[in-house]
Amino acid sequence: MRHLALLPLLFALVLTTPGCPGGQGGGETASPAPVASSASYQVEFETTKGKIVLEIHPDWSPRGEARFRELVESGYFDGCSFFRVVSGFVVQFGISGTPALNEKWSGKTIDDDPVRETNSRGTLTFAKTGAPNSRTTQLFFNLTDNPRLDGMGFAPFAKVVSGMDVIDSLYAGYGEGAPRGSGPAQDRLTSEGDAYLSKDFPKLDKILTAKVVSAGQ
């Protein structure tokens, strides 16, 4: 998939890995929406800057929450870098440093959810392309209130309850990714993984571990 170069910068934040297909991946039949539970639960990220605790709300975005929990419980986020940090806007992550994992997940898109909660500061939302049903593994934290994203179909499913200061402190010196800026190029990160980041972007912070710390029903 090409970069959506003609879209404004606001859309640029949500580009998933350029090699990921839009729509349903791999010709798989879309699964029915999970049954939304009102029971929230917490997930903890241990990062290179400290702990982040998230409160997950399945009723905000059932498909998004189900994919996120699947990724957490599989260990996908362990070692993932915060590869795009744009001060006053978003922090993006969710491309594995292991290329084989990116290949495994690239076609596993999930259907969109209705937007039930605004993209306020501290919310966590899946990234996507401009195509429908294109969410896979990438996510972003909102560093400020970004209500414009609501109308573009970005459905938050979680909110930071502890550690927003950690998110604010993540290394932001590389800024936007290529081709708009000097930060990591998503296609190279996808195909080359940590070898690429260690060589060219050694200051990036990362998630060391991610785990469910209180289970919802």
What's the structural domain count of the chain? Answer: 1
Task: Summarize the confidence of residues 66-76 as an average pLDDT.
Answer: 98
Chain segment 95-114, per-residue pLDDT in tens: 999 999 999 999 999 999 99
Return the pLDDT at 3: 30
Give me the mean pLDDT over the 83-90 stretch: 97
Q: Which of 98, 107, 152 is nearest to 125 (CA)?
A: 152
Per-residue pLDDT, 37: 58
What pLDDT, on a 0 to 100 scale, did the predictor assign at position 214?
Answer: 84
Give the C-alpha separation, 59 to 74, whole Å. 22
Let me know if 58 is exposed, middle or buried by CB neighbors in 10 A (0-12, 13-18, 19+): buried
Question: Quick check: is 165 in a domain?
Answer: yes
pLDDT at 29 over 70: no
Measured CA to CA, the distance from residue 45 to residue 183 in angstroms comes to 23
Q: What percent of the chain has pLDDT above 70?
A: 82
Domain assignment present for 17:
no
List the CATH number of the domain containing 110. Answer: 2.40.100.10
Amino acid 4: pLDDT: 28
pLDDT of 178: 79
- The answer as to whether 19 is a domain residue is no
Please report, for residues 61, 121, 167, the alpha-carbon distance to residue 53 in angstroms, rounded to integers and kept in the order given: 18, 15, 11
Averaged pLDDT of the chain: 86
Is 100 a member of any domain?
yes
Specify the higher pLDDT residue, 32 or 159. Answer: 159
- The mean per-residue pLDDT over the stretch 118-147 comes to 97
Residue 195 maps to a domain: yes
173 within a domain of the structure (yes/no): yes
Residues in the chain: 217
- Check residue 180 and give its pLDDT: 84
Q: Please tell me the least confidently modeled range out of 25-39, 68-82, 202-216.
A: 25-39
Is 119 part of any domain? Answer: yes
In a domain, 152, yes or no: yes
On the question of pLDDT at 20 being above 50, the answer is no
- How would residue 30 be classed by pLDDT, with cut points 50, 70 and 90? very low
pLDDT score of 17 more than 70: no
The better pLDDT of the pair 11, 111 is held by 111
Instruction: Domain of residue 107: give its range.
Output: 36-214
